Amino acid sequence: MHMTTTPSLPTDEPDPTLQAASELLRALASPVRLGIVRELSGGGKYVHELVTALGVSQPLVSQHLRVLRTSRIVTARRQARETRYTLTDDHVAHIVLDAIRHAQE
């Protein structure tokens, strides 16, 4: 019995890797979130340190940190009465820092 294969038809679904990259870029698509990643590229920081460095309100920083945590770009570790935020890995910092340098050219 001879079986023939039919060519697969294109789907409207994007490549899963491209979809994941798009979601990452969407999570970064805010000046405040880019600033947070830039600040965290030098090491972990507390919310009050991010507020001071970025010059925006604590509720705004917390709101953007929530987006970054949901996207697994940053992690949070409770230390005493404060939470210290760090980047999950350095790959995102490279993307953000390169984009900032490119914008300055």
* Strand ranges for 1-105 from DSSP E: 45-46, 74-79, 82-87
Query: Going along 41-95, which residue ranges are E strands?
Result: 45-46, 74-79, 82-87
Distance (Å, rounded) from C-alpha 70 to C-alpha 96? 18
Residue ranges of domains in the chain, CATH in brackets = 23-103 (1.10.10.10)
pLDDT in tens, 47-96: 999 999 999 999 999 999 999 999 999 999 998 899 999 999 999 999 99
pLDDT 10s digits, 12-58: 777 899 999 999 999 999 999 999 999 999 999 999 999 999 999 99
User: What is the Cα–Cα distance from 76 to 57, expressed in whole angstroms?
Assistant: 19
- In sequence order, what are the residues at sequence separation of 6 or more whose Cβ sits closer than 8 angstroms to the Cβ of residue 38? 93, 96, 97, 100
